[in-house]
Amino acid sequence: MRKNIVAGNWKMNKKFDEADDLINGILTELEETELGENTLMILCPPFPYLEMCSDYSNDSYFAVGAQNVNDNERGAYTGEISAEMLESMEIEYCIVGHSERRAYYGETDAMIARKVDRLLEHNIRPIVCCGEVLEEREANKQFDVVKRQITDGLFHLSAEQFGQIVIAYEPVWAIGTGKTATPAQAQEIHAFIRNLIAEKYGKQVADETSILYGGSCKPSNAKELFANPDVDGGLIGGASLQVEDFVNIAKAF
Ligand code: PGA
């Protein structure tokens, strides 16, 4: 059975002591209330806090993910972080192709495909983001956009490799804007994505792939979103920076 996943994407937020407080706060909450048996929480802090986060995760209340990785194996790439480094720190997940990286750092589907390859070579599960911008939604192009992103970014993988992938559908117009896709809009495109995967890799692989929703997900709308059959959780930005909000979202299944 595919997992329900709530992943917190902290983006470029929190100083060291604030990060410590946030992780501690989440741990304290989790010690008091258990999440659903099939629910996995993943924290994706900025790189400098990965080790602290991993140390805390020893009690296995949550898994740890990075927010980005370089598409090269190693070498003269000043300021970059490799999949090999993440693996050596026992990081289990990594977000790839977030719309902010596509928009501000020129990430293409081809680059995202290479990042996915590096991660899989190092036994790290990619959380691969896709989603349309507002103009594309208004022109009813969301299906074409998402299909291109998934086909070009992921469909070079074998079925076995694809089994390691988590997808995050994040309509760009809903990220950090307070505008959320309606549960019906989310379900429609999640079902479309699952169908794409089924056509390429078969029903079993499609049924086992967790497809997360992202974009202004908060405690007040998480339940409605997660109640849809093809919405298997969320990639949470702003609301993952608050202990109570994040834990309440994780309890919304
Ligand atoms: P948001 O961000 O929850 O702040 O909208 C989601 C994301 O970008 O992953």
Q: Using most ligand atoms within 8 A of CB, pick from 5, 6, 9 the residue to mutate for ligand 1.
A: 9
Summarised one tens digit per residue, pLDDT across range 220-244 is 999 999 999 999 999 999 999 999 9
| Domain locations along the chain | 4-250
- The mean per-residue pLDDT over the stretch 128-136 comes to 97
- The mean per-residue pLDDT over the stretch 123-131 comes to 98
Residue 179: predicted pLDDT = 86
Query: What percent of the chain shows pLDDT beyond 70?
Result: 100
- The mean per-residue pLDDT over the stretch 175-204 comes to 96
Ligand 1 atom with the shortest distance to the CA of 100: 8
For ligand 1, which residues put their CB under 6 angstroms from it?
A: 9, 170, 175-176, 214-217, 235-239
What residue has token string 């997940």?
93
Query: What percent of the chain shows pLDDT beyond 90?
Result: 93
What does pTM read for this prediction? Answer: 0.98
Summarised one tens digit per residue, pLDDT across range 58-97 is 777 899 999 999 999 999 999 999 999 999 999 999 999 9
Using the CB atoms, write b or e for 31-48: b if 16+ within 10 Å: eeeebeeebbbbbbbbee
Q: What is the whole-number distance in angstroms between the Cα of residue 202 and the centre of ligand 1?
A: 30
Residue 17: predicted pLDDT = 98
- The mean per-residue pLDDT over the stretch 179-187 comes to 94
Give strand ranges (E) for 29-107.
Answer: 39-44, 63-66, 93-96
Residue 222: predicted pLDDT = 98
Q: In the structure encoding, which two tokens stand for residue 215, read together?
A: 């974009």
Indicate which residue of 29, 107, 170, 190 is catalytic.
170
Kindly report the average pLDDT of the chain as a whole number: 96
Fold annotation for 4-250: TIM Barrel (3.20.20)
For residue 18, name the pLDDT band (cuts at 50, 70, 90).
Answer: very high
Largest CA distance in the chain: 47
Q: What is the whole-number distance in angstroms between the Cα of residue 156 and the centre of ligand 1?
A: 27
- Rounded CA gap, 57 and 42, in Å? 10
